[in-house]
Amino acid sequence: MKERRDAVEAARQAFHTTWAGRETRNGRTVAVLALEPNPSYVAQTMLENVLTHTRMKIWVDEASGNIVHAEAEIIRDVPFGGGLLGKLYRGARFSIDTAEVAHGFWAPVRVQYDYTGRKFLFVFEAHEITETTRYRRDGPPAQALALVKDELARGVAADP
List per-block mean pLDDT (blocks of 10 residues) for the chain, which spans 160 residues: 85 94 93 96 89 96 95 95 91 96 90 96 96 84 85 72
Q: Can you say how many angstroms the Cα of residue 89 is from the centroid of all Cα atoms in its chain?
A: 18
Q: Which domain holds residue 143?
A: 2-154
Q: How far apart, in whole angstroms, are the C-alpha atoms of residue 56 and residue 71?
A: 6
Tell me, what amino acid is at 143? Q
pLDDT number for residue 158: 54
Do 109 and 131 meet the contact criterion of CB atoms below 8 Å apart? yes
pLDDT number for residue 122: 95
159 assigned to some structural domain: no
Q: Buried b / exposed e across 14-37, counting CB within 10 Å, b at 16+?
A: bbeeeeeeeeeeeebebebbebeb
Q: How far apart, in whole angstroms, are the C-alpha atoms of residue 86 and residue 88?
A: 7
Q: Return the DSSP state at 4.
A: H
Length of the chain: 160
Q: How many independent structural domains does the chain possess?
A: 1
pLDDT number for residue 131: 96
Do 57 and 23 meet the contact criterion of CB atoms below 8 Å apart? no
User: N- to C-terminal Cα distance for the chain?
Assistant: 30
123 assigned to some structural domain: yes
